[in-house]
Amino acid sequence: MTTAESPVENAYWVVVPAAGAGKRMGADKPKQYLPLNGKPLIAHTLGNILGWPGLKGIVVAIAADDTEFSTLDCAQDPRVQSVTGGVERADSVLAALEYLSERDVPEIPVLVHDAARPLVSTDDIQKLLAAGPMALLAQPASDTVKQSHSEDGREEVAQTLPRNRIWLAQTPQKAPLGKLREALQRGLKERPNAITDEASALELAGFHPELVAACRSNFKITHPADLILAEALLQHRAVTSSLENNL
Ligand code: C5P
């Protein structure tokens, strides 16, 4: 089948970088394994992704010394594979893309999604899938945005930026497998410090990914207070219908 409605044509892979240490949480284990309502954070994220429409499979990048991933129930799902990640997030994503390049065509869409964002809504995923071939979920700035400079060791306001054009990049970030792989390979070689997400590599390659506004639940669990907020939102979702999971 080759029509626009074809499930094959609309299919995509998801790459989940989960090889980081998550030091900002100050915990004794990587943040993806911290308990959230009794289950490891990454199990919530993968369980969420496994319900996305059109999913072909998930490739999770895990640390070389990870002994926990293979014990998770969700890791036994035949649609979930793992690869060894790298030193930086971009290296981990690239390892997963290399794995996929041996198994699928360069045109297949790939969505890269942080293990630490368990609460992205299915509505937002639908919007991202319907957007252009290169697109990312992002949060329009709601606070007034200041740019700073350093003065005698203190940060001072240098200027106020017009916030109607400021977005905070989130994940998933979507691009065709071949173009994303090339952009990351080139970006990591030429300007490794500038590659902080997939879109930044695509921008360096001359592309302009589309920004898709996400609902506020798609925050990245980074600090201890984020875990408490995520637990409350998960409990709220458990008692409301799936149609209302757009908080
Ligand atoms: O540290 P931060 O929250 O920015 O990491 C974002 C995601 O990238 C996390 O899911 C983390 O596990 C992953 N990561 C990775 N490989 C690294 C560093 C981070 O897969 N070397």
Residue 155 C-alpha to ligand 1 middle, in angstroms?
A: 27
The answer to whether residue 131 is domain-embedded is yes
* Six token digits for residue 200: 């930044």
| pLDDT for the residue 6 | 44
The answer to whether residue 214 is domain-embedded is yes
Q: Report the share of the chain in percent with pLDDT over 70.
A: 93
- For atom 19 of ligand 1, the residue with the nearest CA is 20
The answer to whether residue 184 is domain-embedded is yes
Is the Cα dihedral 57, 58, 64, 69 positive or negative? negative
The answer to whether residue 1 is domain-embedded is no
Residue 123 C-alpha to ligand 1 middle, in angstroms?
A: 25
| pLDDT for the residue 2 | 40
Domain range for 215: 12-139+166-245
| pLDDT for the residue 3 | 43
Residues counted in the chain? 247
Domain count, the chain: 1
Q: What is the pLDDT of residues 220-232, one digit of tens each?
A: 999 999 999 999 9
Which of the four pLDDT bands, split at 50, 70 and 90, describes residue 133? Answer: very high
Q: Does the pLDDT value for residue 182 go beyond 60?
A: yes
The answer to whether residue 157 is domain-embedded is no
Q: Is 61 close to ligand 1, i.e. is its CB under 6 Å away?
A: yes
Taking CB atoms within 8 Å and a gap of at least 24, the contacts of 192-195 are 192/88, 192/90, 195/88, 195/90
Q: What is the pLDDT of residues 90-101, one digit of tens each?
A: 999 999 999 999
Q: Tell me how far apart the alpha carbons of residues 10 and 95 are, in angstroms, rounded to a whole number.
A: 24
Give the HSE-up count for residue 187: Cα atoms under 13 Å, Cβ half-sphere.
27
Residue 17 C-alpha to ligand 1 middle, in angstroms?
A: 6
Q: Is 118 close to ligand 1, i.e. is its CB under 6 Å away?
A: no
Comparing CA positions, the residue from 48, 165, 175, 59 lying closest to residue 117 is: 48
Q: Does the pLDDT value for residue 122 go beyond 70?
A: yes
* Six token digits for residue 150: 């350093």
Residue 144 C-alpha to ligand 1 middle, in angstroms?
A: 28
Q: Is 17 close to ligand 1, i.e. is its CB under 6 Å away?
A: yes
The arithmetic mean of pLDDT across residues 121-143, rounded, is 96
Give the HSE-up count for residue 200: Cα atoms under 13 Å, Cβ half-sphere.
16
Q: Is 186 close to ligand 1, i.e. is its CB under 6 Å away?
A: no
Contacts (Cβ under 8 Å, ≥6 apart) of 176:
106, 107, 108, 109, 110, 133, 134
Q: What is the pLDDT of residues 199-213, one digit of tens each?
A: 999 999 999 999 999
Residue 145 C-alpha to ligand 1 middle, in angstroms?
A: 25
The arithmetic mean of pLDDT across residues 126-137, rounded, is 98
Q: Are 129 and 54 in contact (CB under 8 A)?
A: yes
Q: Is 46 close to ligand 1, i.e. is its CB under 6 Å away?
A: no
Residue 3 C-alpha to ligand 1 middle, in angstroms?
A: 37
- For atom 21 of ligand 1, the residue with the nearest CA is 88
Q: Are 189 and 183 in contact (CB under 8 A)?
A: no
* Strand stretches in the chain, DSSP E: 12-18, 35-36, 39-40, 55-62, 80-84, 109-112, 135-140, 145-151, 154-161, 167-176, 210-213
Q: Does the pLDDT value for residue 7 go beyond 60?
A: no
Which of the four pLDDT bands, split at 50, 70 and 90, describes residue 104? Answer: very high
Domain containing 230 — which CATH number? 3.90.550.10
Give 25-44 as a DSSP string. Answer: G--SS-GGGSEETTEEHHHH
Q: Is 182 close to ligand 1, i.e. is its CB under 6 Å away?
A: no
The answer to whether residue 144 is domain-embedded is no
Burial class of residue 211 (count of CB atoms within 10 Å of its CB; 0-12, 13-18, 19+) = middle
Which of the four pLDDT bands, split at 50, 70 and 90, describes residue 132? Answer: very high
Between 51 and 25, the higher pLDDT residue: 51
Q: Is 220 close to ligand 1, i.e. is its CB under 6 Å away?
A: yes
The arithmetic mean of pLDDT across residues 19-28, rounded, is 78
Give the torsion through C-alpha atoms of 47, 136, 230, 221, to 10 deg: 100
